[in-house]
């Protein structure tokens, strides 16, 4: 088999939660233990750090891996789900597992695992552990897939366990209360192994405290330590190199708009002026958690210097390949995507959107059918143009159904059969100073990143600053010159603007109503030059 044939085999032969949802979930660790014994207990060949939580575990895992990599460790990173390529799940020092290894692993071991009927995640976890052992890594940062207690990653005995937070997600497996969900997450707490808990509630804190006491595990509550004193926005060069810190301030409009991306300066005592490249207000919670975890790791013998921490925070995206966390994909209009997919995660996104400057907000939204769809849609801003769509997974909620639920929540917009057509429609209806947000599900972001070239999202970033600024100003000049207010039948006045048919055909324009979200009537089009 070649690589694509191997992936097809994995996706179609073993239950994949990413695709089908609950039918792929297998309670218990019997298959995991069987695979582990067959493969020679590979997880015992390296040290590990275990990270669970409802939100933030991906960002924390990647940032911690980047810090350890900067410190000179050979670092394995195991995360899920992948966005574009399966190999994103399994990395060493940022490099994805080779295609050849994936092919060979399946070919060499399928006769053993096929009678077991393992889940996709069980098989993937076994592959990751075996790969890390074969490559003689120093330490692996292991992200929990779902829950904790019965997650197949929970066979490891880590140096440190981290639980980021608890909110409502995967209730069909983990329970209907925060205390029940916390109990499942607390299952990663091992006897005598220190644990750092990032965020708690009145319901969850006693659960973690009791479990830590039961396991005689030293527990640190990051909220109580509050090592993060505050944070402010900063701009860092998009073309920075590893180890290169921001020492240049933008001095032209082009630089301000296109050459820099927004991150955070974290106020804390241990690393004054710590710069983090990941955007999104939720990174403040993640950073506070990591600031509590780092002293614990140092006390365990990990050699982590000041510059390692700074470089890890500033270079995490480049060093680990992290995508989809408040990721800016293009300018004029600004296109941002984020993998937040539950009420808690979307709440952070909504707050972040309130802080953004834009003329009009365009929301490309899709969700899967086992999430709290009504809860998410109920907190999204009503003063936006919506493009309801569907990801290319079996769990995806049909776009028409999502549109109906959205309408009940006061969200107005049209339905589109796939992410590419939805984003393209948003691009066509946007001014340069508008904001297009794409999200609602990891799978929506995955589809977006898969078709970014077709959507030409990287075109402006490949231009020189003066070219980008010229393009922006020309588009603004043309579009602004054709804004109109017209009276429709019935006397209602609607604001109209001129929009290009495509960037590749700038001479062709159509009039678009910002109020109705559609094209202006034909008599307006006919009068347009």
Domain containing 381 — which CATH number?
A: 3.90.190.20
Is 187 part of a structural domain of the chain? yes
- Per-residue confidence (pLDDT) for residue 467, from 0 to 100: 52
Q: Could you tell me if 182 and 204 are in contact, meaning their C-beta atoms sit under 8 angstroms apart?
A: yes
Query: Domain boundary at 320, 344, 368, which?
Result: 320
Look at the chain and report how many structural domains it folds into. Answer: 3
* Residues 331, 334: Cα–Cα separation, whole Å: 4
- Do 312 and 346 have their domain in common? no
Look up tokens 């399928």; give the residue: 110
Task: Output the CA angle 165-166-170, nearest 5 degrees.
Answer: 130
The residue-averaged pLDDT of 193-203 equals: 93
Backbone angles phi, psi at 131, to 5 degrees: -65, -45
**pLDDT over 50 (residue 234):** yes
Q: Which residues contact 375 (CB under 8 A, 6 or more apart)?
A: 343
Q: What is the edge-to-edge ordering of all strands in the sheet holding 435-439?
A: 327-330, 334-338, 435-439, 361-365, 385-388, 413-415
Cis peptide before 452 (omega within 30 of 0): no
Is 434 part of a structural domain of the chain? yes
- Per-residue confidence (pLDDT) for residue 403, from 0 to 100: 96
- Read off the pTM: 0.79
Tokens linked to 473: 């100003």
- Per-residue confidence (pLDDT) for residue 17, from 0 to 100: 36
- Do 431 and 523 have their domain in common? no
Q: Could you tell me if 48 and 158 are in contact, meaning their C-beta atoms sit under 8 angstroms apart?
A: yes
The residue-averaged pLDDT of 493-501 equals: 43
Query: Domain boundary at 320, 351, 378, which?
Result: 320
* Residues 317, 322: Cα–Cα separation, whole Å: 5
- Do 188 and 284 have their domain in common? yes
Name the average pLDDT for the chain. 82
pLDDT tens, 12-62?
876 543 444 444 445 678 999 999 999 999 999 999 999 998 888 999 999
The CA-based dihedral angle spanning residues 317, 322, 327, 328, taken in that order and rounded to the nearest 10 degrees: 50
Q: Which domain holds residue 133?
A: 3-320
* E strand intervals along 406-458: 413-415, 435-439
pLDDT tens, 355-397?
888 999 999 999 998 888 999 999 999 999 999 999 998 889 9
- Do 169 and 88 have their domain in common? yes
- Do 402 and 499 have their domain in common? no
- Do 333 and 314 have their domain in common? no
- Do 431 and 299 have their domain in common? no
The residue-averaged pLDDT of 180-190 equals: 91
- Per-residue confidence (pLDDT) for residue 419, from 0 to 100: 97
Q: Please compute Rg for the chain using Cα positions.
A: 24
The residue-averaged pLDDT of 311-327 equals: 93
- Per-residue confidence (pLDDT) for residue 97, from 0 to 100: 98
- Per-residue confidence (pLDDT) for residue 483, from 0 to 100: 42
């Amino acid at each position: 088999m070649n690589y694509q044939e191997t992936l097809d085999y994995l996706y179609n032969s073993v239950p994949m939660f990413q695709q089908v949802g609950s039918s792929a979930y297998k309670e218990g660790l019997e298959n995991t233990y069987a695979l582990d014994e067959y493969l020679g207990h590979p997880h015992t060949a390296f040290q590990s750090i275990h990270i669970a939580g409802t939100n933030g575990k991906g960002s924390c895992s990647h940032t911690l891996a980047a810090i350890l990599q900067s410190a000179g460790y050979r670092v394995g990173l195991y995360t899920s789900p992948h966005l574009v390529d399966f190999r994103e799940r399994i990395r060493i020092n940022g490099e994805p597992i080779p295609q050849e290894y994936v092919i060979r692993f399946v070919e060499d071991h399928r006769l053993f695992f096929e009678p077991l009927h393992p889940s996709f995640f069980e098989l993937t976890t076994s592959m990751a552990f075996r790969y890390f052992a074969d490559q003689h890594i120093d330490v692996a940062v292991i992200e929990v897939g779902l829950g904790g207690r019965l997650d197949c990653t929970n066979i490891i005995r880590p140096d440190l366990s981290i639980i980021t937070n608890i909110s409502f997600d995967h209730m069909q497996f983990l329970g209907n209360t925060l205390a029940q969900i916390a109990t499942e997450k607390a299952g990663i707490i091992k006897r005598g192994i220190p644990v750092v808990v990032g965020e708690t509630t009145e319901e969850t804190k006693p659960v973690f405290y009791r479990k830590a006491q039961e396991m005689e595990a030293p527990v640190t509550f990051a909220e109580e330590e509050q090592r993060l004193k505050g944070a402010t926005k900063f701009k860092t060069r998009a073309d920075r190199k590893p180890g290169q810190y921001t020492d240049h301030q933008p001095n032209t409009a082009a630089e301000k708009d296109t050459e820099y991306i927004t991150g955070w300066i974290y106020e804390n005592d241990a690393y004054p002026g710590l710069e983090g490249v990941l955007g999104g207000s939720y990174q403040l919670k993640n950073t506070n958690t990591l600031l509590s975890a780092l002293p614990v790791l140092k006390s365990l013998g990990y050699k982590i210097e000041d510059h390692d921490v700074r470089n890890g925070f500033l270079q995490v995206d480049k060093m680990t390949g992290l995508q989809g966390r408040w990721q800016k994909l293009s300018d004029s209009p600004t296109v941002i995507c984020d993998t937040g997919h539950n009420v808690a995660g979307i709440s952070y996104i909504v707050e972040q959107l309130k802080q953004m400057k834009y003329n009009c907000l365009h929301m490309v939204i899709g969700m899967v059918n086992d999430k709290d769809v009504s809860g998410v849609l109920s907190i999204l801003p009503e003063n936006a143009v919506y493009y309801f769509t569907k990801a290319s997974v079996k769990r995806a909620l049909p776009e028409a159904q999502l549109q109906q639920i959205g309408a009940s929540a006061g969200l107005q917009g049209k339905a589109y059969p796939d992410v590419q057509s939805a984003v393209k429609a948003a691009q066509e209806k946007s001014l340069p100073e508008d904001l297009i947000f794409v999200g609602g599900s990891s799978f929506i972001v995955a589809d977006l990143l898969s078709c970014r070239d077709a959507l030409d999202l990287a075109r402006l970033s490949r231009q020189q600053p003066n070219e980008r600024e010229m393009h922006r100003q020309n588009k603004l000049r043309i579009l602004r010159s054709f804004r109109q207010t017209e009276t429709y039948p019935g006397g209602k006045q609607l604001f109209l603007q001129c929009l290009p048919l495509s960037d590749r055909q700038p001479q062709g324009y159509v009039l678009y109503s910002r109020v109705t979200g559609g094209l202006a009537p034909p008599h307006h089009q006919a009068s347009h030059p």
